[in-house]
Chain A
Amino acid sequence: MSRALVVARRELMAAFDSPAAWLVLALVPALTAVLFFVLGGFFAAGAASLRDWFAAVPLLLVPVAPALTMRLWAEEFRSGTEELLFTYPLRTSELVLGKFLGALGLLAIALFFTLGAPLTVAALGPLDWGPVIGGYLGSLLLGAACLAVGAFFSSCTRNQIVAWLLGAVALLVFNLLAVAATSAAMPEWLGGILWRLDFGQRFAGIARGVVAVDDVLFYLLMTFLFLAWNGLRLEARRWP
């Protein structure tokens, strides 16, 4: 684990040497604030609540999470540095976990810069902090699952744009499963499964302030599954 953390730290530091990471850090709070304060009906509704703010998070992560992970493996494959990486005294799982934690750290920092929104709302009215804490916890859990999906697709290609595209499409599908589950053409048994696999519905539950163990387990298991698949892809490259 400690070696995974070393990789994570190195990834995070390396990310800050690229303007792309700074751009993501600047865009996430700015975009959420535009959606909530400028385009959304915060002042018209007059409610001291961040419900609408958190409602945008699942869709916001559709482009952002793959953007944070697209270079994780695709860049190594493109430049051929994965051979060098595999010579380090690190297990594949440590490499996967380390790079994932680095990306998660970057997302957590981006979320930190959005704290201005709840602080503003709290200054304007009696904000219930429970759903806000739930919302941020849910954002981290959902973000972890989205990053794991993005990391997996990054390990499937050497082209960053293709990695981003595959990740974004996959996340969009995961966010629309609940809608598909309620369509008339969907058989009931399949609808039930799709409903349970939807990323957004579970996040909505946590963001309203109810942290259910099954929702937390869902995100952790989805993160684990995609990271494990990521590991298998790397193993295939390491030992062809």
Chain B
Amino acid sequence: MAVIAPARRQRRERLISGLLLAGVVASLLVVAGHVRPRLDLTQDRLFSLAPVTREVLGRLEDRLQVKFYFNRRLEGAEALLPARLVLRDFLDEVEAAGGGRVRVETVDPTESVAARSAAEAAGITAIPMPTSDAAGARIVNVYQGLELRYQDRTEVLPVLVPGEVEFAFVAAVDSLLRDRRPVVGLVSREPPMPPALPGVAEAVPPGREFESLRIRLGRRYAVRDLDLAEDAPDRLSDLAALIVARPERLSPREVFEIDQYLAGGGRVLVLWDGERIDVETNRPQPTETGLDDWLAAMGVRPEKAMVWDQAGFPFPIPGAPVRLPDGTEVRGPGRTVNYGLWPIVQASGLAADHIACQGLANLCFLWAHGLALGPLPAGVTAEVLVRTSPATGALAGDFDLEPYLENVERLARRARSGQEQRSRALVVALRGAFPSFFADREPPVAGRPIRSAAEPGLLVVVGDADAFSNRGIEVAAPSLGPSGNPQLAANLVDWLCQEEGLVDLRVRGGRPRRIRNFRQEALAAVGALDPDLDPDRREELVAEAERRERRIRRLISWGNVLVPPFLVLLLALGHFAFHRARARRPWRPAGGGEGTT
């Protein structure tokens, strides 16, 4: 038997102890990885499942199979790691809340041809993401989709966005449970989509101005295009809501169908507009909606004049041409002007406590019309959901709409000199049992019994169809960011369809948490917001405001950088001075008597 030296034996024992310790800690880490409880400290409980999510999961009677398709290897796309963390957390939460009825499986489509085929068969395709590294620029294909299977039904979320994943997931599970999606009808004068050809991407005809709205609503609803003049009335019977987008020359039969749908307890969203914009001449072309008398009978009277709100869209205007001494011509510094025909509505213009207005910011209306209320039918109540700022005038008649500097100033003057300046309603909601417009008129469809105030219904009127058109959905200003129009559209439809839980879910965390707008404050402080200023003076004031804004930012930044070290320096000086003074004090022996220095 070999004799090991004591020192060597001790070293060996310590090494074994260290390794055993690491093993114990590793085992505990594995166990800890399965510990679920967690505390969500965020004010809106952003990272906890919402009650509506738990309610939907609670309705599962069978197993919900969730396949999360993602590529585990993200070389070159490491920026996606935090998003992955959020998605993984959410799916873990869902699996835990599902109580055994939800099974989440992860599939990496880049690992095998079979996995990639399965992803593509499910409708989940790679998103090419440009990246660059030491080897040069390249494209990384990123998969981040979800496939949900319940009984014999399937829903697919091709691309998951962390901020929207809970809403998309709940909407998909709800669709699986209902067997089919709720149907929203859409009435418009758009050209139909051409018949789909296999293997050929569908081209959207130019006149399909509400296609973006259709796509967005399609995430939750089945959107059904309706022709009220031709379709059988029972095509409306299963609708969750009906959208009448930019009504134009509606026939009495079409108005009759809308009327009967509402009087029977339907939910109608009217995107009203009094004109089309001629893109060649940049002038408004008045249109006849065919719906105005009916709307007036319901209690809403759209104004023919367009609103001009001083809080308008900030359009960048190029500077005036300047000729240099050598004869060349250059553009002077540009500026922004507030184009009042595109009113921007922020929180102060929203009905704060209405569910459809939650989480909204930066609403942008394009050539909108004010809505006057009353007289309302008996039993019908109305509320204004969105309104312009108090500094709002109106422009009637024919005029140039182009947002160049001189024209904007001309239109602003005209709006101020015309009708009174006041806040105008842009979105109104009416609820109650609506009487039929045709109750005391000859109905356009003979032999049909007329329903009147049969069931409580909902009517929402928006004084601008362009706001929800393709252009209105995508509109964004560099200084404001994306508009809240798509969210307003989705909120309104969800509210009409009684999907208030989904509205809550969508707007959760959407509450803008912005710091003070120093630029706006500086502009106001120097008086640069006065609309009557001449352009040169305004430029001077804007420059002064920019200097003031930079000063404030520098003060905050360097204050934060320098104040803590200064405090530490003071404390250090105090500490060392105290110790030096103590060291100089005469030493006193215990028991009294004279000490020495």
> Is the CB–CB distance between B29 and A17 below 8 Å?
no
Known: A30-B564, A182-B73, A210-B40. A125 touches B14 (CB 8 A): no
Besides A29-B560, A124-B516, A179-B81, 4 other A-B contacts (C-beta < 8 A) = A16-B575, A33-B561, A48-B514, A209-B47
- Complex Cα gap A178–B79 (Å): 12
Q: Which of B17, B28, B81 contacts A201 (CB 8 A)?
A: B81
Nearest 7 CB-CB pairings of A with B: A130-B41, A29-B564, A125-B515, A26-B565, A37-B557, A212-B38, A217-B32
Q: Give me 19 A-to-B residue pairs in the complex whose CB atoms sit less than 8 angstroms apart, sorted by A's number.
A: A19-B572, A25-B568, A33-B560, A46-B515, A128-B513, A130-B41, A179-B78, A182-B72, A182-B73, A184-B75, A186-B73, A191-B72, A209-B40, A209-B42, A212-B37, A213-B37, A213-B38, A214-B35, A228-B21
Q: Which residues of A contact B513 (CB under 8 A)?
A: 47-49, 125-128
Known: A37-B557, A131-B42, A204-B85. A113 touches B28 (CB 8 A): no
> Is the CB–CB distance between A225 and B10 below 8 Å?
no
> Is the CB–CB distance between A224 and B25 below 8 Å?
yes
Q: Which of A16, A33, A128 contacts B564 (CB 8 A)?
A: A33
> Is the CB–CB distance between B516 and A236 below 8 Å?
no
Known: A30-B565, A117-B560. A221 touches B29 (CB 8 A): yes
* Chain A contact residue count (CB 8 A cutoff): 67
Residues in A lying within 8 Å of B, measured CB to CB: 16-17, 19, 22, 25-27, 29-30, 33-34, 36-38, 43, 46-49, 113-114, 116-117, 120-121, 124-131, 133-134, 178-179, 182-184, 186, 188, 191, 196, 201, 204-205, 208-214, 217-218, 221-222, 224-225, 228-229, 232, 235-236, 239-240
Known: A33-B561, A34-B561. A26 touches B569 (CB 8 A): yes
B397 close to A (CB within 8 Å): no
- B15's nearest neighbour on chain A, judged by CB, is A232
- Complex Cα gap A124–B568 (Å): 25
Q: Which residues of A contact B35 (CB under 8 A)?
A: 213-214, 217
- Complex Cα gap A212–B34 (Å): 11
- B41's nearest neighbour on chain A, judged by CB, is A130
- Complex Cα gap A217–B33 (Å): 9
- A45's nearest neighbour on chain B, judged by CB, is B515
Q: Which residues of B contact A134 (CB under 8 A)?
A: 41
- Complex Cα gap A210–B38 (Å): 7
- Complex Cα gap A116–B563 (Å): 9
Q: Which of B37, B517, B556, B562 contacts A30 (CB 8 A)?
A: B562
> Is the CB–CB distance between B579 and A17 below 8 Å?
yes
Q: Which of A27, A46, A114, A201 contacts B514 (CB 8 A)?
A: A46
- Complex Cα gap A205–B47 (Å): 10
> Is the CB–CB distance between B567 and A47 below 8 Å?
no
> Is the CB–CB distance between A37 and B38 below 8 Å?
no
Residues in B lying within 8 Å of A, measured CB to CB: 7, 10-11, 14, 17-18, 21-22, 25, 28-29, 32-44, 46-47, 72-75, 78, 81-82, 85, 89, 513-518, 553, 556-565, 567-569, 571-572, 575, 579
> Is the CB–CB distance between A120 and B25 below 8 Å?
no
- Complex Cα gap A29–B39 (Å): 28
Measured CB to CB, the closest approach of chain A to B120, in angstroms, equals: 21
Measured CB to CB, the closest approach of chain B to A208, in angstroms, equals: 7
Known: A114-B564, A204-B82, A204-B85. A130 touches B514 (CB 8 A): no
- A183's nearest neighbour on chain B, judged by CB, is B75
- A198's nearest neighbour on chain B, judged by CB, is B81
Q: Which residues of A contact B75 (CB under 8 A)?
A: 182-184
Known: A196-B29, A221-B32. A47 touches B515 (CB 8 A): yes
- Complex Cα gap A213–B74 (Å): 27
Measured CB to CB, the closest approach of chain B to A147, in angstroms, equals: 17
> Is the CB–CB distance between B73 and A183 below 8 Å?
yes
> Is the CB–CB distance between B514 and A125 below 8 Å?
yes
Measured CB to CB, the closest approach of chain B to A103, in angstroms, equals: 17
- Complex Cα gap A128–B46 (Å): 11
Q: Which of A25, A37, A127, A184 contacts B73 (CB 8 A)?
A: A184
Known: A47-B514, A48-B514, A130-B43. A113 touches B568 (CB 8 A): yes
- Complex Cα gap A127–B43 (Å): 10
Q: Which of B38, B562, B564 contacts A113 (CB 8 A)?
A: B564
- Complex Cα gap A215–B405 (Å): 57
Measured CB to CB, the closest approach of chain A to B357, in angstroms, equals: 18
- Complex Cα gap A163–B381 (Å): 75
Measured CB to CB, the closest approach of chain B to A46, in angstroms, equals: 5
Q: Which residues of B contact A210 (CB under 8 A)?
A: 38-42, 47, 89
Q: Which residues of B contact A113 (CB under 8 A)?
A: 564, 567-568
Known: A120-B560, A205-B89, A225-B21. A130 touches B42 (CB 8 A): yes
- Complex Cα gap A43–B575 (Å): 37
Known: A210-B38, A221-B28, A225-B25. A120 touches B556 (CB 8 A): yes
